[in-house]
Structure 1
Amino acid sequence: MTRDYSQFLPLGGQTPPPEAQASLLSRLGWQPFFSRQTDPGTLGATPPARVTEVHRTGLRVRGDGFDDVIPAGPDATVGDWFLFDHETPAQSVLLERKSLFKRRAAGHDRRVQLIAANIDTAFVVSSCNADFNIARMERYIALAFEADVTPVILLTKADLCDDPDSYVQQAMSISDRVVVLALNALSTEPVAKLADWCKPGQTVAFLGSSGVGKSTLVNALFAEERAETADIREDDAKGRHTTTSRQMHFTRDGVAVLDTPGMRELQLTDVEDGIADLFSDVTELAATCKFNDCAHETEPGCAVSAAVKAGELDPARLARWRKLAAEDRFNSASLSERRSKDKTFGKMVRTIVKNRKKR
């Protein structure tokens, strides 16, 4: 396809010089982590390509000078990098991920749904109204910690709130490792306040429920309408789905920006370490309990119960930790059991086929 530099041009709109053209790949988010997985001698035949959109019929991939579609597969998601095979796209090689967001999909089969890959910063978006929910934000933060992605909490609609500081203080109680910013998504604030994370070659994602302003923030970074937006319902501050698929946009400065649909349900799986990092205060206390198998209820010598009684640990925070840890254990165990059954079934099929061949 014809090479298109338009969305990578600086604000002046001039054609980029040769050195700028050479950096187009890095503007898609290409980093040394990925280049170390390649053989420079084969990049001409199988150049790097990034998944920028996910559809039921295929994956849109973009590289230096091409924009194509490869068959959809269950093991790829938006943000992934492939070594693109022009002759047989289905045989394109998926590179190892730097990070991965996933959740347990709805249904009874405990299937894992991939959300996004190779994200550097996750902006967890909530709003200063009835939608504000500590427990929901904690789920996103646990995902980010598990994926080794930098989480930042963004509180929108601060200009419409009488006391935005109270929301900021509540959000800051989630983790001392997470920056919390209150802003007006309809102003010029996002460009200035998010500049530290939105640098050339970086990939950022906006996560949160519908109506909190994710698409508005995307548009603010581009200073134009890139993502569709809609007003929230006045009675309960709930939003309408305007983003219906995960799609990656690229600023003229070379920042990859991912807008995601609002998720009504975010079931955690395989995020034990992320939960431990999120609730580091609780896990550190649990490590000092008298018994290794302490359930932190009525056992003697329980440091967690003692901290609650002393007013040093919020009972509501402890309850949220219990809920997330139990959910993760259940979903992770279910997935392990299903994988074991699949492996056993596959072995049985291979044995049957082998015996038939002997007849």
Structure 2
Amino acid sequence: MDSTFTLLDLGWQAYFQQQLSLDDLESNRIARICAFNSNQYELVGEFGFFSLESHSDMPNMAVGDWVVTDTENRFLRLLEASSAFESIASNIDTVFLICALNQDFNLTLIKRYLELTHEAQADAVVVLTKADTCDDAMEKRAQVEKLDPLLIVETVNALDANSLSCLAPFLKKGKTVALLGAVGSGKSALINTLMQTTDSNKTQRNIGESGSLKIMPSGAILLDTAGMRELQLAEFDSSAIANFADIIVLEKQCRFSDCRHEGEPGCALKAAVKSNRLDEQRVADFLLLRNEDNDDDQVTKSKPQEKFYRSAQSDIRARKHSSAE
């Protein structure tokens, strides 16, 4: 494992420098969290790698956070993040929002990813992939650009390195980037192509054994954690959860407990739409928000999905309690 990194290699910026005291500069050390497993943080700085046990008196921290320690690598304090996806990742400069230009093109999903990224206070760039297989790429790009006149939108072929040259301004040395996108959007292909280089002196380096932080050939840092890959929009949108509480109650009446609401017999949501008791678009938005993942034809819920259901059930109970009063 390569343990030789400068702070700039790891994404250090003036924003964090301004938070240091004289004692920090003279006597303490700076490190970035590059992994979190069980109750232990893995950190890296100019002095190499070390671990910190998580304690109740520590603040909540995530991969990407910067911390100050003493010379014995004991935790002193957490630096304020420039951006944060709560409990998942911190200090991301740019988020590439990936969406394929095929039958999976979804303007609503892009809009919600934008809202999520803005809430985290990171910059967003929409990357529309599979442009080489789409006949109406410019029309779809125009639809995305209408979401925000200042939004940067790029259409690419994720398998072609030349096509990705438009992303170079966001991949400068020391900048931290991450990707958000649905399964099949082209995230893996895009990452693999960006990691390729014809310069033997510029190679990918994992920062730590987990690979959650990677130094790209351009010098940018790719933050790629399981939390970011499994990110469910509902975890960050409690107001949306409240808006769909009635649908969550209704879907419990489906004939099958694993109903996907895609035409199965006895689907309570489809029946409610057919009888005009539910708006079809609301149901579509709910299914998008919940974002179920299929694994070997079995519906499984990630931790964020479980949080979605717990939050929704809490909202339902609160409404019932309010009505009773």
TM-score (norm 2): 0.62
CA distance in structure 2 between the partners assigned to 1:67 and 1:143 by the alignment: 32
Partner of 2:61: 76
2:41 is paired with a residue of what secondary structure?
strand
Partner of 1:137: 110
Partner of 1:4: 4
Residues 125 and 206 of structure 1 are in contact (CA less than 8 Å); yes or no, is this contact kept in structure 2? yes
Partner of 1:97: 81
Q: Could you say if the C-alpha distance between residues 96 and 190 of structure 1 is closer, same or farther in structure 2, counting changes exceeding 3 Å?
A: farther
| Displacement after TM superposition at 1:93 (Å) | 1.9
Partner of 1:347: none
CA distance in structure 2 between the partners assigned to 1:133 and 1:179 by the alignment: 17
Partner of 1:58: 40
CA distance in structure 1 between the partners assigned to 2:186 and 2:26 by the alignment: 41
Q: Could you say if the C-alpha distance between residues 265 and 42 of structure 1 is closer, same or farther in structure 2, counting changes exceeding 3 Å?
A: closer
Q: Could you say if the C-alpha distance between residues 2 and 157 of structure 1 is closer, same or farther in structure 2, counting changes exceeding 3 Å?
A: closer
Establish whether residue 27 from structure 1 lines up as the match of residue 9 from structure 2: yes
Larger radius of gyration: 1
Establish whether residue 213 from structure 1 lines up as the match of residue 186 from structure 2: yes
1:136 is paired with a residue of what secondary structure?
helix
Q: Could you say if the C-alpha distance between residues 34 and 156 of structure 1 is closer, same or farther in structure 2, counting changes exceeding 3 Å?
A: same
Q: 2:230 aligns with which of 247, 263, 272?
A: 263
Q: Could you say if the C-alpha distance between residues 268 and 139 of structure 1 is closer, same or farther in structure 2, counting changes exceeding 3 Å?
A: farther
C-alpha deviations, 1:124-162, integer Å up to 9, x for none? 111112322222221211122223321110011111223
Residues 54 and 246 of structure 1 are in contact (CA less than 8 Å); yes or no, is this contact kept in structure 2? no
Residues 99 and 148 of structure 1 are in contact (CA less than 8 Å); yes or no, is this contact kept in structure 2? yes
1:267 is paired with a residue of what secondary structure?
helix
Residues 40 and 52 of structure 2 are in contact (CA less than 8 Å); yes or no, is this contact kept in structure 1? yes
C-alpha deviations, 1:265-292, integer Å up to 9, x for none? 31154799xxxxxxxxxxxxxxxxxxxx
Q: Could you say if the C-alpha distance between residues 40 and 200 of structure 1 is closer, same or farther in structure 2, counting changes exceeding 3 Å?
A: farther
Residues 146 and 271 of structure 1 are in contact (CA less than 8 Å); yes or no, is this contact kept in structure 2? no
Consecutive unaligned residues in structure 2, runs of 5 or more: 198-202, 240-280, 290-307, 319-325
Stretches (4+) displaced over 6 A: 224-227
Partner of 2:196: 223
Q: 1:117 aligns with which of 90, 93, 96?
A: 90
Partner of 1:293: none
1:194 is paired with a residue of what secondary structure?
helix
TM-score (norm 1): 0.57
Aligned residue pair count:
240
Partner of 2:149: 176
Residues 143 and 271 of structure 1 are in contact (CA less than 8 Å); yes or no, is this contact kept in structure 2? no
| Displacement after TM superposition at 1:58 (Å) | 2.4
1:196 is paired with a residue of what secondary structure?
helix
Q: Which amino acid aligns with 1:201?
A: G
CA distance in structure 1 between the partners assigned to 2:165 and 2:77 by the alignment: 38
CA distance in structure 1 between the partners assigned to 2:122 and 2:2 by the alignment: 34
Q: Could you say if the C-alpha distance between residues 155 and 213 of structure 1 is closer, same or farther in structure 2, counting changes exceeding 3 Å?
A: same
